[in-house]
Amino acid sequence: MNAPGRGRILFTALMALVLTALPLPPWLDVLRPAFLVLAVLYWSVNAPRTGDIALGFFAGLMLDVFQGPVLGQHALALTLVTYIAVREHQRIRSKPAFQQALIVFGALAVYEFVLFAIDGWSGHPVTSPLRWVHTVTGALIWPLVAAILAHGSRGRA
């Protein structure tokens, strides 16, 4: 059984959401990777049938409720990222961890850029360069996230 169950994906997404909302001191908060985006990315690469673009959309909508000034902002960004990941999942999956991290960095940058653009367009600009920090930390932590999520599904299979 390779494809992990839907419940499992939802559970990890929920955990990622909790990690996203966990209160942290400001300096640590800047470094905090976008856990939910990473989880969605992982599932859309490794279980593209279950972890679908719909997962990206609804995860993004949840992020919007938590931290978006405009409803649909994170949903659009995450939909785009999920689409890229689902389309290229075979190529991404066959890459070694280092290259995967680079790809994840690119995906996070695209994600953040979409957010940045919508922020500006909708009149809530946040121009602080600190908003880009999480793309780097997200890429750095990617091998760990992938290992944790993969370990769980192997143990189950």
Q: Is 156 in the site for another protein (CB under 8 A)?
A: no
Please report, as a single letter, which amino acid is at residue 77. Answer: A
SS3 for 103-149 is HHHHHHHHHHHHHHHHHHHCCCCCCCHHHHHHHHHHHHHHHHHHHHH
Q: Is 12 in the site for another protein (CB under 8 A)?
A: no
**Interacting residues of 88 by C-beta distance below 8 A, sequence separation 6+:** none
CB 109 within 8 A of CB 136: no
Q: x/- string (CB under 8 A) for another protein, residues 88-127?
A: -xx--x------------------------x--xxxx-x-
Residue (of 21, 19, 91, 81) closest to 51 by Cα position: 81
Choosing from 10, 14, 109, 110, the residue that interacts with another protein (CB under 8 A) is: 14
Q: Is 29 in the site for another protein (CB under 8 A)?
A: yes
Q: Which residues bind another protein (CB under 8 A)?
A: 2-3, 14, 17-18, 20-24, 26, 29-30, 32, 46-49, 52-54, 56-57, 60-62, 64-73, 75-76, 79-80, 82-83, 86-87, 89-90, 93, 118, 121-124, 126, 128, 130-131, 146, 150, 153-154, 157
